[in-house]
Structure 1
Amino acid sequence: MPSRSDQTRQRVVEAAIGLLTRGGRDAVTTRAVAEAAGLQPPAIYRLFGDKDGLLDAVAEHGFTAFLASKRIDPDPPDPIADLRAGWDVAIEFGLANPALYTLMYAEPTRAESAAFRTGMGVLMGRIRRLAAGGWLRVDEELAAQIIHATARGAVLTWLSLPEERRDPALLTTLRESMVAAVTVDQPAVRGSGPAGAARALRAALPEQTLLSEAEQRLLTEWLGRLATDD
Protein backbone atom coordinates (compact mmCIF):
# COMPACT_ATOMS: atom_id res chain seq x y z
CA MET A 1 0.00 0.00 0.00
CA PRO A 2 1.43 3.44 -0.91
CA SER A 3 2.62 5.53 2.01
CA ARG A 4 0.83 8.74 2.94
CA SER A 5 3.72 10.71 1.42
CA ASP A 6 3.40 8.78 -1.87
CA GLN A 7 -0.34 9.35 -1.91
CA THR A 8 0.19 13.07 -1.35
CA ARG A 9 2.79 13.21 -4.15
CA GLN A 10 0.36 11.48 -6.48
CA ARG A 11 -2.40 13.92 -5.56
CA VAL A 12 -0.11 16.87 -6.26
CA VAL A 13 1.01 15.43 -9.59
CA GLU A 14 -2.60 14.84 -10.64
CA ALA A 15 -3.50 18.39 -9.62
CA ALA A 16 -0.58 19.73 -11.67
CA ILE A 17 -1.66 17.69 -14.70
CA GLY A 18 -5.17 19.08 -14.40
CA LEU A 19 -3.86 22.65 -14.37
CA LEU A 20 -1.46 21.86 -17.23
CA THR A 21 -4.26 20.39 -19.34
CA ARG A 22 -6.62 23.29 -18.75
CA GLY A 23 -4.23 26.22 -18.81
CA GLY A 24 -0.86 25.15 -20.16
CA ARG A 25 2.50 25.24 -18.47
CA ASP A 26 2.09 28.81 -17.18
CA ALA A 27 -0.91 27.67 -15.15
CA VAL A 28 1.26 25.26 -13.15
CA THR A 29 2.43 27.51 -10.32
CA THR A 30 3.30 26.14 -6.91
CA ARG A 31 0.53 28.18 -5.34
CA ALA A 32 -2.11 27.01 -7.83
CA VAL A 33 -1.02 23.38 -7.56
CA ALA A 34 -1.02 23.50 -3.76
CA GLU A 35 -4.51 24.99 -3.75
CA ALA A 36 -5.80 22.38 -6.23
CA ALA A 37 -4.29 19.59 -4.13
CA GLY A 38 -5.63 20.98 -0.85
CA LEU A 39 -2.17 21.75 0.57
CA GLN A 40 -0.12 24.72 1.67
CA PRO A 41 2.57 25.89 -0.85
CA PRO A 42 5.51 24.88 1.41
CA ALA A 43 4.36 21.26 1.05
CA ILE A 44 5.23 21.38 -2.66
CA TYR A 45 8.82 22.30 -1.85
CA ARG A 46 9.09 19.59 0.79
CA LEU A 47 7.88 16.95 -1.66
CA PHE A 48 9.55 18.05 -4.91
CA GLY A 49 12.28 20.55 -3.98
CA ASP A 50 11.07 23.26 -6.35
CA LYS A 51 8.80 23.85 -9.32
CA ASP A 52 11.24 22.17 -11.71
CA GLY A 53 11.19 19.08 -9.51
CA LEU A 54 7.41 19.08 -9.67
CA LEU A 55 7.44 19.39 -13.47
CA ASP A 56 9.93 16.52 -13.67
CA ALA A 57 7.56 14.39 -11.59
CA VAL A 58 4.67 15.32 -13.90
CA ALA A 59 6.77 14.36 -16.94
CA GLU A 60 7.73 11.04 -15.31
CA HIS A 61 4.04 10.37 -14.71
CA GLY A 62 3.46 11.04 -18.41
CA PHE A 63 6.21 8.65 -19.50
CA THR A 64 4.79 5.98 -17.19
CA ALA A 65 1.30 6.44 -18.64
CA PHE A 66 2.73 6.31 -22.16
CA LEU A 67 4.60 3.11 -21.33
CA ALA A 68 1.37 1.56 -20.02
CA SER A 69 -0.34 2.37 -23.35
CA LYS A 70 2.22 0.41 -25.38
CA ARG A 71 1.09 -2.91 -26.80
CA ILE A 72 4.03 -5.30 -26.52
CA ASP A 73 4.15 -8.49 -28.58
CA PRO A 74 7.44 -10.36 -28.00
CA ASP A 75 6.98 -12.36 -31.22
CA PRO A 76 4.83 -10.41 -33.72
CA PRO A 77 3.88 -12.27 -36.92
CA ASP A 78 4.71 -9.16 -38.94
CA PRO A 79 7.49 -7.03 -37.41
CA ILE A 80 6.94 -4.14 -39.83
CA ALA A 81 3.22 -4.02 -39.00
CA ASP A 82 4.27 -4.09 -35.34
CA LEU A 83 6.57 -1.11 -36.00
CA ARG A 84 3.72 0.83 -37.59
CA ALA A 85 1.39 -0.02 -34.71
CA GLY A 86 3.94 1.13 -32.12
CA TRP A 87 4.46 4.42 -33.97
CA ASP A 88 0.69 4.95 -34.13
CA VAL A 89 0.38 4.38 -30.36
CA ALA A 90 2.96 7.12 -29.76
CA ILE A 91 1.04 9.51 -32.00
CA GLU A 92 -2.30 8.68 -30.38
CA PHE A 93 -0.90 9.32 -26.91
CA GLY A 94 0.60 12.66 -27.95
CA LEU A 95 -2.58 13.91 -29.62
CA ALA A 96 -4.72 12.78 -26.68
CA ASN A 97 -2.43 14.51 -24.14
CA PRO A 98 -1.04 17.58 -25.93
CA ALA A 99 0.02 19.68 -22.95
CA LEU A 100 1.50 16.72 -21.08
CA TYR A 101 3.30 15.43 -24.19
CA THR A 102 4.82 18.84 -24.87
CA LEU A 103 6.08 19.02 -21.29
CA MET A 104 7.51 15.49 -21.50
CA TYR A 105 9.66 16.36 -24.50
CA ALA A 106 10.44 19.99 -23.69
CA GLU A 107 13.70 19.22 -21.86
CA PRO A 108 16.41 16.91 -23.26
CA THR A 109 17.40 15.93 -19.71
CA ARG A 110 14.08 14.10 -19.34
CA ALA A 111 15.63 11.30 -21.41
CA GLU A 112 17.09 10.23 -18.05
CA SER A 113 13.59 9.33 -16.86
CA ALA A 114 13.35 5.70 -15.77
CA ALA A 115 10.05 5.23 -17.59
CA PHE A 116 11.46 6.90 -20.72
CA ARG A 117 14.41 4.50 -20.71
CA THR A 118 12.06 1.54 -20.27
CA GLY A 119 9.98 2.76 -23.20
CA MET A 120 13.10 3.09 -25.34
CA GLY A 121 13.91 -0.49 -24.34
CA VAL A 122 10.57 -1.57 -25.81
CA LEU A 123 11.40 0.30 -29.01
CA MET A 124 14.87 -1.28 -29.18
CA GLY A 125 13.22 -4.69 -28.83
CA ARG A 126 11.10 -3.97 -31.90
CA ILE A 127 14.16 -2.81 -33.79
CA ARG A 128 16.18 -5.86 -32.77
CA ARG A 129 13.47 -8.16 -34.10
CA LEU A 130 13.57 -6.28 -37.40
CA ALA A 131 17.35 -6.64 -37.51
CA ALA A 132 17.24 -10.33 -36.64
CA GLY A 133 14.80 -10.92 -39.49
CA GLY A 134 16.97 -9.02 -41.95
CA TRP A 135 14.43 -6.20 -42.35
CA LEU A 136 16.56 -3.35 -41.01
CA ARG A 137 18.03 -0.92 -43.53
CA VAL A 138 20.16 1.10 -41.08
CA ASP A 139 22.04 0.63 -37.83
CA GLU A 140 19.83 -0.13 -34.80
CA GLU A 141 20.73 3.08 -32.96
CA LEU A 142 20.04 5.22 -36.03
CA ALA A 143 16.75 3.40 -36.56
CA ALA A 144 15.72 4.24 -32.97
CA GLN A 145 16.59 7.90 -33.50
CA ILE A 146 14.61 8.07 -36.76
CA ILE A 147 11.55 6.38 -35.27
CA HIS A 148 11.60 8.53 -32.14
CA ALA A 149 12.28 11.78 -34.04
CA THR A 150 9.53 11.25 -36.60
CA ALA A 151 6.94 10.41 -33.95
CA ARG A 152 7.84 13.38 -31.76
CA GLY A 153 8.07 15.70 -34.75
CA ALA A 154 4.73 14.51 -36.08
CA VAL A 155 2.95 15.20 -32.79
CA LEU A 156 4.54 18.58 -32.15
CA THR A 157 3.99 19.72 -35.75
CA TRP A 158 0.35 18.63 -35.65
CA LEU A 159 -0.23 20.47 -32.37
CA SER A 160 1.39 23.63 -33.76
CA LEU A 161 -1.06 23.79 -36.68
CA PRO A 162 -4.46 25.52 -36.61
CA GLU A 163 -7.22 22.91 -36.55
CA GLU A 164 -8.35 23.73 -40.08
CA ARG A 165 -4.86 22.85 -41.40
CA ARG A 166 -4.51 19.52 -39.63
CA ASP A 167 -4.49 16.96 -42.44
CA PRO A 168 -4.34 13.28 -41.34
CA ALA A 169 -2.27 12.63 -44.47
CA LEU A 170 0.61 14.37 -42.68
CA LEU A 171 0.73 11.63 -40.04
CA THR A 172 0.34 8.79 -42.53
CA THR A 173 3.04 10.19 -44.82
CA LEU A 174 5.49 10.68 -41.96
CA ARG A 175 4.86 7.14 -40.71
CA GLU A 176 5.44 5.60 -44.12
CA SER A 177 8.53 7.74 -44.65
CA MET A 178 9.85 6.41 -41.35
CA VAL A 179 9.14 2.81 -42.38
CA ALA A 180 10.87 3.32 -45.73
CA ALA A 181 13.87 4.92 -44.03
CA VAL A 182 14.52 2.13 -41.54
CA THR A 183 13.33 -1.06 -43.27
CA VAL A 184 13.81 -2.86 -46.58
CA ASP A 185 11.10 -4.26 -48.86
CA GLN A 186 12.47 -7.80 -48.59
CA PRO A 187 14.58 -9.33 -45.79
CA ALA A 188 18.18 -8.49 -46.59
CA VAL A 189 19.45 -11.83 -45.31
CA ARG A 190 17.95 -13.46 -48.41
CA GLY A 191 20.18 -11.41 -50.65
CA SER A 192 23.79 -11.97 -51.61
CA GLY A 193 25.25 -8.90 -49.90
CA PRO A 194 26.89 -9.13 -46.47
CA ALA A 195 25.36 -6.02 -44.86
CA GLY A 196 21.91 -7.44 -44.12
CA ALA A 197 23.32 -10.73 -42.90
CA ALA A 198 25.76 -8.84 -40.66
CA ARG A 199 22.91 -6.79 -39.15
CA ALA A 200 20.88 -9.95 -38.56
CA LEU A 201 23.79 -11.81 -36.95
CA ARG A 202 24.73 -8.83 -34.79
CA ALA A 203 21.15 -8.59 -33.50
CA ALA A 204 21.25 -12.27 -32.52
CA LEU A 205 24.60 -12.08 -30.70
CA PRO A 206 23.16 -11.32 -27.22
CA GLU A 207 21.25 -14.63 -27.41
CA GLN A 208 24.36 -16.82 -27.87
CA THR A 209 26.59 -18.20 -25.10
CA LEU A 210 29.42 -19.88 -27.06
CA LEU A 211 31.66 -16.82 -27.41
CA SER A 212 33.59 -15.17 -24.60
CA GLU A 213 32.87 -11.54 -23.78
CA ALA A 214 36.06 -10.43 -25.56
CA GLU A 215 35.23 -12.53 -28.64
CA GLN A 216 31.71 -11.14 -28.74
CA ARG A 217 33.00 -7.55 -28.56
CA LEU A 218 35.42 -8.19 -31.42
CA LEU A 219 32.79 -9.89 -33.59
CA THR A 220 30.34 -7.07 -32.88
CA GLU A 221 32.94 -4.58 -34.12
CA TRP A 222 33.53 -6.57 -37.31
CA LEU A 223 29.83 -7.01 -37.98
CA GLY A 224 29.30 -3.28 -37.37
CA ARG A 225 31.71 -2.53 -40.21
CA LEU A 226 30.04 -5.00 -42.55
CA ALA A 227 26.56 -3.78 -41.65
CA THR A 228 27.29 -0.30 -43.00
CA ASP A 229 28.98 -1.51 -46.20
CA ASP A 230 25.96 -1.23 -48.53
Structure 2
Amino acid sequence: MTDASVPPDTRTRIVEVAAGLLRDEGPAAVTTRGVAQAAGVQAPAIYRLFGDKDGLLEAVAEHVMSSFVAAKASVVEAAIETDADPVDDLRDGWRSQVAFGLDNPALFTLLSDPGRVAGSPAARRGRAVLEARVHRVAVAGRLRVSEERAVGLVQASGVGVITTLLGTPVDDRDPGLAEAVLEGLLAQILTDAPLADRTGHLSTVVAFRAVAPELDQLTAPERRLLAEWLDRVVDDQR
Protein backbone atom coordinates (compact mmCIF):
# COMPACT_ATOMS: atom_id res chain seq x y z
CA MET A 1 0.00 0.00 0.00
CA THR A 2 1.35 3.44 -0.88
CA ASP A 3 0.30 7.01 -0.20
CA ALA A 4 1.53 9.73 -2.53
CA SER A 5 1.05 12.30 0.25
CA VAL A 6 3.79 10.68 2.34
CA PRO A 7 7.39 11.26 1.19
CA PRO A 8 9.29 8.07 0.22
CA ASP A 9 11.97 8.79 2.80
CA THR A 10 9.31 8.72 5.51
CA ARG A 11 8.29 5.20 4.50
CA THR A 12 11.93 4.11 4.54
CA ARG A 13 12.47 5.68 7.98
CA ILE A 14 9.44 3.89 9.40
CA VAL A 15 10.60 0.51 8.03
CA GLU A 16 14.14 1.00 9.32
CA VAL A 17 12.89 2.02 12.77
CA ALA A 18 10.58 -1.00 12.90
CA ALA A 19 13.40 -3.29 11.80
CA GLY A 20 15.62 -1.93 14.56
CA LEU A 21 12.94 -2.43 17.20
CA LEU A 22 12.31 -5.97 16.00
CA ARG A 23 16.04 -6.77 16.05
CA ASP A 24 16.80 -5.18 19.42
CA GLU A 25 13.62 -5.73 21.43
CA GLY A 26 11.63 -8.44 19.65
CA PRO A 27 8.19 -8.56 18.00
CA ALA A 28 6.35 -7.18 21.05
CA ALA A 29 8.15 -3.85 20.58
CA VAL A 30 6.83 -3.40 17.04
CA THR A 31 3.58 -1.64 17.87
CA THR A 32 2.00 1.00 15.69
CA ARG A 33 2.29 3.58 18.47
CA GLY A 34 5.88 2.65 19.34
CA VAL A 35 7.08 2.69 15.74
CA ALA A 36 5.30 5.97 15.02
CA GLN A 37 6.85 7.64 18.05
CA ALA A 38 10.34 6.35 17.27
CA ALA A 39 10.05 7.38 13.62
CA GLY A 40 8.66 10.82 14.44
CA VAL A 41 5.37 10.38 12.57
CA GLN A 42 1.70 10.14 13.45
CA ALA A 43 0.20 6.66 13.78
CA PRO A 44 -2.29 7.27 10.91
CA ALA A 45 0.67 7.58 8.52
CA ILE A 46 1.58 3.96 9.25
CA TYR A 47 -1.95 2.80 8.55
CA ARG A 48 -2.02 4.74 5.28
CA LEU A 49 1.31 3.28 4.17
CA PHE A 50 1.10 -0.30 5.42
CA GLY A 51 -2.53 -0.98 6.27
CA ASP A 52 -1.84 -2.56 9.66
CA LYS A 53 0.91 -4.07 11.81
CA ASP A 54 1.09 -7.18 9.64
CA GLY A 55 1.60 -5.02 6.57
CA LEU A 56 4.40 -3.18 8.36
CA LEU A 57 6.06 -6.48 9.32
CA GLU A 58 5.84 -7.63 5.71
CA ALA A 59 7.67 -4.47 4.65
CA VAL A 60 10.27 -4.96 7.40
CA ALA A 61 10.90 -8.54 6.33
CA GLU A 62 11.39 -7.56 2.71
CA HIS A 63 13.65 -4.63 3.62
CA VAL A 64 15.91 -6.68 5.87
CA MET A 65 16.06 -9.62 3.48
CA SER A 66 16.83 -7.34 0.54
CA SER A 67 19.72 -5.72 2.40
CA PHE A 68 21.17 -9.06 3.50
CA VAL A 69 20.81 -10.60 0.04
CA ALA A 70 22.45 -7.59 -1.60
CA ALA A 71 25.46 -8.02 0.70
CA LYS A 72 25.66 -11.74 -0.12
CA ALA A 73 25.39 -11.04 -3.85
CA SER A 74 28.33 -8.63 -3.70
CA VAL A 75 30.43 -11.31 -1.98
CA VAL A 76 29.63 -13.82 -4.73
CA GLU A 77 30.46 -11.27 -7.42
CA ALA A 78 33.82 -10.63 -5.76
CA ALA A 79 34.48 -14.37 -5.57
CA ILE A 80 33.78 -14.70 -9.30
CA GLU A 81 36.01 -11.75 -10.18
CA THR A 82 38.92 -13.08 -8.12
CA ASP A 83 38.31 -16.70 -9.13
CA ALA A 84 38.08 -17.67 -5.47
CA ASP A 85 37.67 -21.34 -4.58
CA PRO A 86 33.95 -22.11 -5.08
CA VAL A 87 33.81 -24.56 -2.17
CA ASP A 88 35.32 -22.00 0.18
CA ASP A 89 32.77 -19.48 -1.08
CA LEU A 90 29.96 -21.94 -0.35
CA ARG A 91 31.35 -22.47 3.15
CA ASP A 92 31.50 -18.72 3.74
CA GLY A 93 27.91 -18.32 2.56
CA TRP A 94 26.72 -21.00 5.00
CA ARG A 95 28.58 -19.43 7.91
CA SER A 96 27.26 -15.93 7.21
CA GLN A 97 23.70 -17.26 6.98
CA VAL A 98 23.98 -19.12 10.29
CA ALA A 99 25.57 -16.10 11.98
CA PHE A 100 22.81 -13.82 10.70
CA GLY A 101 20.10 -16.13 12.01
CA LEU A 102 21.66 -16.49 15.44
CA ASP A 103 22.35 -12.76 15.77
CA ASN A 104 18.82 -11.84 14.67
CA PRO A 105 16.43 -14.45 16.09
CA ALA A 106 13.25 -12.37 15.73
CA LEU A 107 14.14 -11.40 12.18
CA PHE A 108 15.03 -14.99 11.30
CA THR A 109 11.66 -16.20 12.59
CA LEU A 110 9.93 -13.54 10.52
CA LEU A 111 11.97 -14.22 7.40
CA SER A 112 11.69 -18.01 7.59
CA ASP A 113 7.89 -18.04 7.56
CA PRO A 114 7.10 -20.24 4.50
CA GLY A 115 4.03 -18.19 3.61
CA ARG A 116 6.04 -14.97 3.59
CA VAL A 117 9.07 -16.43 1.80
CA ALA A 118 6.97 -17.95 -1.00
CA GLY A 119 5.91 -14.53 -2.25
CA SER A 120 9.05 -12.58 -1.43
CA PRO A 121 11.14 -11.13 -4.29
CA ALA A 122 14.08 -10.80 -1.89
CA ALA A 123 13.79 -14.48 -0.94
CA ARG A 124 13.92 -15.40 -4.62
CA ARG A 125 17.01 -13.27 -5.05
CA GLY A 126 18.55 -14.95 -2.01
CA ARG A 127 17.95 -18.36 -3.55
CA ALA A 128 19.51 -17.08 -6.78
CA VAL A 129 22.66 -16.14 -4.85
CA LEU A 130 22.85 -19.66 -3.40
CA GLU A 131 22.23 -21.12 -6.85
CA ALA A 132 25.12 -19.05 -8.21
CA ARG A 133 27.42 -20.40 -5.50
CA VAL A 134 26.39 -23.99 -6.16
CA HIS A 135 26.71 -23.47 -9.91
CA ARG A 136 30.35 -22.44 -9.49
CA VAL A 137 30.98 -25.65 -7.55
CA ALA A 138 29.33 -27.67 -10.33
CA VAL A 139 31.36 -25.99 -13.07
CA ALA A 140 34.53 -26.81 -11.13
CA GLY A 141 33.59 -30.49 -11.24
CA ARG A 142 33.19 -30.75 -7.47
CA LEU A 143 29.46 -31.55 -7.29
CA ARG A 144 28.25 -35.17 -7.08
CA VAL A 145 24.50 -34.36 -7.06
CA SER A 146 22.37 -32.13 -9.26
CA GLU A 147 22.54 -28.39 -8.64
CA GLU A 148 18.85 -28.37 -7.69
CA ARG A 149 19.37 -31.10 -5.08
CA ALA A 150 22.44 -29.35 -3.66
CA VAL A 151 20.60 -26.04 -3.30
CA GLY A 152 17.71 -27.75 -1.53
CA LEU A 153 20.03 -29.59 0.85
CA VAL A 154 21.95 -26.43 1.75
CA GLN A 155 18.75 -24.47 2.39
CA ALA A 156 17.08 -27.19 4.44
CA SER A 157 20.22 -27.87 6.50
CA GLY A 158 20.83 -24.19 7.18
CA VAL A 159 17.29 -23.48 8.34
CA GLY A 160 17.34 -26.63 10.47
CA VAL A 161 20.59 -25.73 12.21
CA ILE A 162 19.51 -22.18 12.98
CA THR A 163 16.10 -23.28 14.22
CA THR A 164 17.65 -25.95 16.44
CA LEU A 165 20.21 -23.59 17.95
CA LEU A 166 17.66 -20.82 18.54
CA GLY A 167 15.43 -23.34 20.30
CA THR A 168 18.25 -24.26 22.69
CA PRO A 169 19.26 -22.07 25.67
CA VAL A 170 22.44 -20.21 24.80
CA ASP A 171 24.48 -21.91 27.52
CA ASP A 172 23.35 -25.35 26.33
CA ARG A 173 24.09 -24.91 22.64
CA ASP A 174 26.62 -27.14 20.92
CA PRO A 175 29.16 -24.63 19.52
CA GLY A 176 30.31 -27.12 16.89
CA LEU A 177 26.87 -28.14 15.61
CA ALA A 178 26.74 -25.80 12.62
CA GLU A 179 30.20 -26.81 11.41
CA ALA A 180 29.44 -30.50 11.92
CA VAL A 181 26.28 -30.24 9.84
CA LEU A 182 28.17 -28.30 7.18
CA GLU A 183 30.87 -30.96 6.94
CA GLY A 184 28.27 -33.71 6.71
CA LEU A 185 26.44 -31.79 4.02
CA LEU A 186 29.57 -31.18 1.97
CA ALA A 187 30.57 -34.83 2.26
CA GLN A 188 27.25 -35.74 0.70
CA ILE A 189 27.24 -33.27 -2.19
CA LEU A 190 30.95 -32.86 -3.06
CA THR A 191 33.57 -35.02 -4.69
CA ASP A 192 37.04 -35.24 -3.14
CA ALA A 193 38.63 -33.75 -6.27
CA PRO A 194 37.43 -32.33 -9.60
CA LEU A 195 36.04 -34.92 -12.01
CA ALA A 196 37.04 -37.79 -9.72
CA ASP A 197 33.73 -39.27 -8.63
CA ARG A 198 33.93 -43.02 -8.04
CA THR A 199 30.23 -43.68 -8.69
CA GLY A 200 30.41 -43.43 -12.47
CA HIS A 201 31.87 -39.99 -13.11
CA LEU A 202 28.66 -38.33 -12.00
CA SER A 203 30.53 -35.14 -11.09
CA THR A 204 31.63 -34.89 -14.72
CA VAL A 205 28.03 -35.11 -15.87
CA VAL A 206 26.95 -32.49 -13.34
CA ALA A 207 29.76 -30.16 -14.44
CA PHE A 208 28.86 -30.67 -18.10
CA ARG A 209 25.21 -29.97 -17.30
CA ALA A 210 26.20 -26.73 -15.60
CA VAL A 211 27.88 -25.37 -18.75
CA ALA A 212 25.56 -26.94 -21.33
CA PRO A 213 23.30 -23.85 -21.64
CA GLU A 214 26.37 -21.78 -22.58
CA LEU A 215 27.44 -23.94 -25.55
CA ASP A 216 26.69 -21.46 -28.31
CA GLN A 217 28.10 -23.87 -30.90
CA LEU A 218 24.85 -25.82 -30.53
CA THR A 219 21.42 -24.62 -31.53
CA ALA A 220 18.85 -23.87 -28.83
CA PRO A 221 16.96 -27.15 -29.48
CA GLU A 222 20.26 -29.06 -29.34
CA ARG A 223 21.16 -27.46 -26.01
CA ARG A 224 17.74 -28.35 -24.61
CA LEU A 225 18.09 -31.94 -25.79
CA LEU A 226 21.58 -32.21 -24.31
CA ALA A 227 20.33 -30.81 -21.00
CA GLU A 228 17.49 -33.35 -21.03
CA TRP A 229 19.93 -36.22 -21.53
CA LEU A 230 22.24 -35.02 -18.80
CA ASP A 231 19.35 -34.45 -16.38
CA ARG A 232 18.27 -38.03 -17.01
CA VAL A 233 21.70 -39.32 -16.00
CA VAL A 234 21.76 -37.19 -12.85
CA ASP A 235 18.19 -38.08 -11.86
CA ASP A 236 18.95 -41.77 -12.26
CA GLN A 237 21.51 -41.46 -9.43
CA ARG A 238 19.09 -39.97 -6.92
Fold similarity call, TM over 0.5: yes
Secondary structure at 1:228's aligned position in 2? helix
TM-aligned CA distance change 1:37 to 1:153, over 3 Å: same
For residues 229 and 194 of structure 1, the distance between their equivalents in structure 2, rounded to whole angstroms, comes to: 13
Listed as ranges, the matches of 1:217-228 within 5 Å are: 217-228=224-235
Deviation at 1:198, TM superposition (A): 1.8
TM-aligned CA distance change 1:21 to 1:196, over 3 Å: closer
Moved over 4 A (4+): 189-192
Asked if structure 2 preserves the Cα contact closer than 8 Å seen for 1:90 and 1:151, the reply is: yes
Matching residue of 1:88: 95
Superposed CA offset, 1:135-185 (max 9, x none)? 112111111111112112222221111111112111111111121122121
Match of 2:209 among 198, 202, 211: 202
For residues 109 and 100 of structure 1, the distance between their equivalents in structure 2, rounded to whole angstroms, comes to: 12
Matching residue of 1:32: 34
Question: What TM-score do you get using the length of structure 1 for normalisation?
Answer: 0.89
Name the % identity.
46
Matching residue of 1:170: 177
Question: What TM-score do you get using the length of structure 2 for normalisation?
Answer: 0.86
Match of 1:116 among 123, 128, 151: 123
Matching residue of 1:133: 140
Instruction: Give the unaligned 5+ runs of structure 2.
Output: none
Deviation at 1:189, TM superposition (A): 5.5
Asked if structure 2 preserves the Cα contact closer than 8 Å seen for 1:131 and 1:140, the reply is: yes
How many residue pairs are counted as aligned between the two chains?
A: 228
Instruction: Give the unaligned 5+ runs of structure 1.
Output: none
Asked if structure 2 preserves the Cα contact closer than 8 Å seen for 1:132 and 1:200, the reply is: yes
Listed as ranges, the matches of 1:1-230 within 5 Å are: 5-70=7-72, 71-72=75-76, 73-74=79-80, 76-188=83-195, 193-230=200-237
What amino acid sits opposite 2:205 in the alignment? Answer: A
